[in-house]
Amino acid sequence: MTSRTPVDLYGKAALPPCDGPRLKPFKYRKESIEFVSLLSEPPSSSPTGACAHVFKVKFGKRGYYALKIFKFKKIQDLRGEQWALSNENVSDDDLVFHSDPFYAECRAYGKIEEIEESMARKSSKASQRVAAQQIQSSTKQTKRKSRSQKNSRSQVTSKHSVDREAHRLAVPCYGFMGLPPTFEALLAERFGIFDWDRSSSDESMSQDIRAPFRALVKQLVENKPAFGRPRKMLADLKILRAHEIYQKDIAARNYMNGLLVDFGAAWTSPHWCLETLSRNQLHYELFSDLFEWDHMMREEIPSTVVRAAPLTSRLLSLRDYRELGHDMKYKNA
């Protein structure tokens, strides 16, 4: 057993504390929080064992957001999950920081932010150049001109954020936050939620000194269709994959407003699975998003001709693929 790197959920440092992309804390985490409603399925009707509960919340005067509060995950459960045969040599840190749904989502969103920023920067390069020239000449001018410099800067910023919006690859995530364990009583009373999967040692402690909740703050999506244009959805998925973010749970319930919203099962490079699985395992695992995407589209938008999986692979039905993939896992481990 290796010792685990401590994590400060209330601090300023981005998470998780390991190699690869990280997510920043939510800027307004210190504002008062009001729970409005439960957005995810109520516990009684979610037999699939979701990894989190999602709430509509209000942060002080900042407005409404979606707050995804993650259940706790024991390290022995992570080790026991599907990759049990190949994870013996993986450190506790790598296992937790790559595979625990909270950290998996932090890493994926950390990387998504980098990609969106870089796409926005590229597409607004020309207008930034023009604005930069204006700024340069205005520095030599009078006070009045320095006001116009300010304006040019704000124009650059607003153009930049417009571009970022145009390059959204997922429902925006504004950062992570820790929530004091004392919220447990409120969530039980208001929403009948008790299933946080705490360890027995945590459970045996009084509520105020238990582990804090881990949460992500996202844009609230309400009254919007789950799907957008299939070509755009597929293009987004391919961009994510090209940057080695494999979402690993493509399903209609994980799309909102045409964008992916759930990265709790994602593999984001560097990831222990990408380094330790055999070639065959990786081949099937990495293609699964494409097969699942086609399957989802056949169910949800039968009229679409947009397909994700390459033609040759499509000759294999999804069921065959799953059986084969599952079989390969254990043959090649």
Q: Is 173 in the site for ligand ATP (CB under 6 A)?
A: no
Q: Is 69 in the site for ligand ATP (CB under 6 A)?
A: no
- Nearest approach in angstroms of CB 51 to ligand ATP is 5
3-class secondary-structure state, position 158: helix
State how far the alpha carbon of 152 is from the alpha carbons of 87, 133, 137, 138, 162, in Å: 53, 10, 12, 10, 15
Total chain residues near ligand ATP (CB under 6 A) = 20
Laid out side by side, the sheet with 63-70 consists of 33-38, 52-59, 63-70, 213-218, 173-179
Q: Is 187 in the site for ligand ATP (CB under 6 A)?
A: no
Q: Are 184 and 175 in contact (CB under 8 A)?
A: no
> 198-216 burial, b if ≥16 CB within 10 A, otherwise e?
beeeeeeeeeeebebbbbb
- Nearest approach in angstroms of CB 238 to Mg ion is 21
Q: Is 215 in the site for ligand ATP (CB under 6 A)?
A: no
Q: Is 221 in the site for ligand ATP (CB under 6 A)?
A: yes
> 296-307 burial, b if ≥16 CB within 10 A, otherwise e?
bbeeeeeebeee
Question: Of the two residues 64 and 183, which places its CB atom closer to ligand ATP in the complex?
Answer: 64
3-class secondary-structure state, position 294: helix
Q: How many whole angstroms separate alpha carbon 145 and alpha carbon 80?
A: 65
Q: Is 168 in the site for ligand ATP (CB under 6 A)?
A: no
Question: Of the two residues 94 and 262, which places its CB atom closer to Mg ion in the complex?
Answer: 262
Binding site for Mg ion (CB under 5 A): 254, 262
- Please provide the DSSP assignment of 217-267 as one string: EE----S--S---HHHHHHHHHHHHHTTEE-----GGGEETTEE---TT-E
Question: Of the two residues 102 and 284, which places its CB atom closer to ligand ATP in the complex?
Answer: 102
- Nearest approach in angstroms of CB 310 to ligand ATP is 27
- What values do phi and psi take at 164, rounded to 5? -60, -40
Q: Is 218 in the site for ligand ATP (CB under 6 A)?
A: yes
Tell the residue number behind the tokens 């939510």, with chain if given: 26
Q: Is 68 in the site for ligand ATP (CB under 6 A)?
A: yes
* Region of 23-31, 46-54, 158-166, 206-214 interacting with ligand ATP (CB under 6 A): 46-54
Q: Is 54 in the site for ligand ATP (CB under 6 A)?
A: yes
* Region of 216-224, 239-247, 286-294, 325-333 interacting with ligand ATP (CB under 6 A): 216-224
Task: Report CA dihedral (11, 37, 256, 319) to the nearest 10 degrees.
Answer: 100
243-282: contacts with ligand ATP (CB under 6 A): 253-254, 256, 261-262, 264
Task: Report CA dihedral (119, 124, 129, 134) to the nearest 10 degrees.
Answer: -140
* Region of 48-56, 115-123, 180-188, 316-324 interacting with ligand ATP (CB under 6 A): 48-56
Question: Of the two residues 131 and 266, which places its CB atom closer to Mg ion in the complex?
Answer: 266
Q: Are 54 and 254 in contact (CB under 8 A)?
A: no
- Nearest approach in angstroms of CB 107 to ligand ATP is 15
- Nearest approach in angstroms of CB 56 to ligand ATP is 7
Question: Of the two residues 9 and 256, which places its CB atom closer to ligand ATP in the complex?
Answer: 256
Question: Of the two residues 67 and 234, which places its CB atom closer to ligand ATP in the complex?
Answer: 67
Residue ranges that bind ligand ATP, judged by CB under 6 A: 39-40, 48, 50-52, 54, 66, 68, 171, 218-221, 253-254, 256, 261-262, 264
